[in-house]
Structure 1
Amino acid sequence: MKTGTFSELENFEKQNQKPIIIHLYTDWCSVCKIESFQLKKDKDLIKMINENFYLINFETEKAKEKINFQGKEFNYLPNGNSGIHELALALSRNKNQPVYPLWIILDKNQNLVYYHEGEFKPKKMKEKLDEITNL
């Protein structure tokens, strides 16, 4: 599955506007690991994402670089031995602690079209992405 970064997004958007999938996860999240394994097995879903979307996998507790997104600057917030990125908090509806995994789908104009907390089963994801590509 092709993935990009927030810093690449601006250049990519100038060349080829597509809807954006932002996948927020952590390395300690067991549901995230199970979901990732299921998604990687689904060749049709991978093809659909690669052809029609720009995917950003965002590890919210490891990404420490400054990120500019939608005209705002976001930084990593350290907290003892760990921390969280401000962007994860900004994107999440639960401002204290995001629910993982978190899937946010934006249209090609970066407007929110879908928000999904918790496991996103491949079948349901395909249905939702198909709906979005046909908007």
Structure 2
Amino acid sequence: MKKILYIMMFLVLVTTKSMAQEINWVTFNEALALQKTAPKKIMMDVYTNWCGPCKMLDRNTFHNKDVVDYVNKYYYAVKFNAEGNEEVSYDGKKFSNPNYNPDLVNRRNSAHELSRYFQVQAYPTIVFIDEKGKLIFPLRGYKTPIQLELYLKMFKNDDHKGMDTQEKFNEYYKAFKPEFEG
């Protein structure tokens, strides 16, 4: 009887895992190319391999059904290793990580030039980029699905354009009605 129970639990777990939705991640270069034919904003998850909060963001927030659905519909999603060695062309420049050390792949490594260009000072940082490929805002730190929802919707709707003071953002924040499940 125990064997049957274990097998059933295993099957439920496997089925649930396989049905989990995923964000459609692309490279930064792919997202920039996609913007040329079908303009959308970019949401870039800037992470490192050693960062615990980065892993929590991926597990708890980027696998949330509401976040997955919203990001896949309205954004190009990019995962970018802030200490990786990917070469990127952006804003008429080439960015790389000239001090990258492959022996430190899962430990602190040199920061990628693009991370510095986007003002990434902590991990994780979610960088939002407009349809023309220009930086909107680097959002630092771990965010729950409900916390991220505010920014996803604010930037998607361009509501941030009228917020030139902290007071205006606070008013927007207070009036915001989250719909995502946490």
**TM-score normalised over the length of structure 1:** 0.86
Question: What is the alpha-carbon distance in structure 2 between the residues aligned to residue 55 and residue 74 of structure 1?
Answer: 19
Q: Which portions of structure 1, spanning 4 or more consecutive aligned residues, are displaced by more than 6 angstroms?
A: none
Q: Counterpart of 2:66?
A: 44
Q: Counterpart of 2:146?
A: 123
Q: Structure 1 residue 84 and structure 2 residue 111: aligned? A: yes
Superposed CA RMSD in Å reads 1.7
Structure with max Cα Rg: 2
Q: 1:109 to 1:115 in 2, by over 3 A?
A: same
Number of corresponding residues = 130
Q: Counterpart of 2:56?
A: 34
Question: What is the alpha-carbon distance in structure 1 between the residues aligned to residue 86 and residue 49 of structure 2?
Answer: 17
Q: Counterpart of 1:24?
A: 46
1:66/1:73 contact within 8 Å kept? yes
| Structure with the largest fraction of helix | 2
Runs of at least 5 residues in structure 1 that lack an aligned partner in the other structure? none
> Which residue identity does 1:31 align to in structure 2?
P
Q: Which has the higher contact order (CA 8 A, sep 6+)?
A: 1
Q: 1:79 to 1:50 in 2, by over 3 A?
A: closer
| Structure with the largest fraction of strand | 1
Q: 1:40 to 1:13 in 2, by over 3 A?
A: closer
**Which one is further off, 100-109 or 111-120?**
111-120
Runs of at least 5 residues in structure 2 that lack an aligned partner in the other structure? 1-22, 104-108, 159-182
**TM-score normalised over the length of structure 2:** 0.65
Q: 1:92 to 1:17 in 2, by over 3 A?
A: same
